[in-house]
Amino acid sequence: MASAVAGCTTVSYYAQSIEGHVEIMAKRRNVGRLIRDPATPAPLRAKLETAAAIRRFASEKLALPDNSSYRSYVDIGRDDVTLAVFAAPRFSLAPVTWCFPVFGCVPYKGYFSRKDAIESAAELRAKGLDVYVSGVTAYSTLGWFSDPLLSTMMREDDTYLATLIFHELAHQKLYVNGDSAFNEAFAVSVETSGTRKWLRATGDSAGLRRYETNRNRSADFLRLIGQTREELRQVYGSPRTPEKMAAAKDAAIERLRARYRKMRDGRWGGYKGYDGWFDSPINNAKLAATSVYGEQVPAFLRLYDLCGGDYPRFYDAVRRIAALPQPARSEALKTARSCG
């Protein structure tokens, strides 16, 4: 999450961003040395060996940057490396954006300090905004620094670790200033295609089946969110009083929860992996944050297929589209009929 180190217009935000990042960078330990060190716990050594193999695969097979990122490791001693604070107006799905040097405008603010994130969220709520705070597992400095592997990246299986490394390196490969939806969808498309390629290359057919099942659930989830966002667009565009608009908003969110429960207990066979998301408060900020990562992914994956699965050609095609101004950029991605 680039805003965690990009800074903001206030000295205090700059201070916590720089201090948090510098603290992590100072704790880096070389992955190769840790693997060779007999004092390294066996489970961590195994994870680091897998991470090193994934890192090589990223550069050799996915044409991702071959640099010093993800060749060091830091145990950060907490569940999330940063907290991202999202906000949106009470009756709008357009997220509030903040602008940073180099990284442009993004729909969140990143905090290394939980206390700072909670205080920022409270200030935004006091202004009448919907607010959503989300824990972040990894962030990218877009190649400005040698980003390390983090203990937060190691807490799930090897497939999850691969998705994170591919995703964050994709941000280093290509980044469009001020277009978070484009940037995140591009990174997710590299993450998705790269993870499939990695699992096939390692002969992990069971892992590939699990991954595809999870991808299908994610697509189902995003379709539910998209349906509710469309319902809310109609609500917010109607000439209702604030009281009636609030009631209609609440009703749309409850319908979302009901549709989720029906899908969970039917199509998903009782899988409860998204219960936490639906059991916690849902508002415009949460819906906006979720849509940033998903809406343009199918178009990027289609472009990848049009490029024959050739990553250099795919990246060149994405760069040509990225050079266009908005909204021409989104339209070109959506209507692309060839790689060239």
Amino acid sitting at position 294:
G
Q: Are 161 and 51 in contact (CB under 8 A)?
A: yes
What pLDDT, in 10s, does the model give residues 264-288?
999 999 999 999 999 999 999 999 9
Helix ranges (H only) for the chain are 3-6, 11-26, 31-36, 42-61, 114-126, 158-173, 180-201, 205-236, 242-265, 275-279, 284-292, 297-306, 311-322, 328-335
Bridge partners (DSSP) of residue 83 are 111, 135
* pLDDT of residue 141 exceeding 80: yes
pLDDT at 326: 87
Report yes or no: 164 and 153 within 8 Å, Cβ to Cβ.
yes
**List of residues 6+ apart from 101 with CB closer than 8 A:** 6, 7
pLDDT for 88 beyond 70: yes
pLDDT value, residue 9:
46
- pLDDT tens string 156-180: 999 999 999 999 999 999 999 889 8
What is the DSSP pairing of strand 109-111 with strand 98-100? unpaired
Read off the pLDDT band of 335 (50, 70, 90): very high
Between residues 293 and 69, the one the model is more confident about: 69
Tell how far CA 200 is from the center of its chain: 24
The per-residue pLDDT for 314 is 98
The more confident residue out of 2 and 145 is 145
Report how far residue 75's alpha carbon sits from residue 36's, in angstroms, rounded to the nearest whole number: 17
pLDDT score of 7: 32
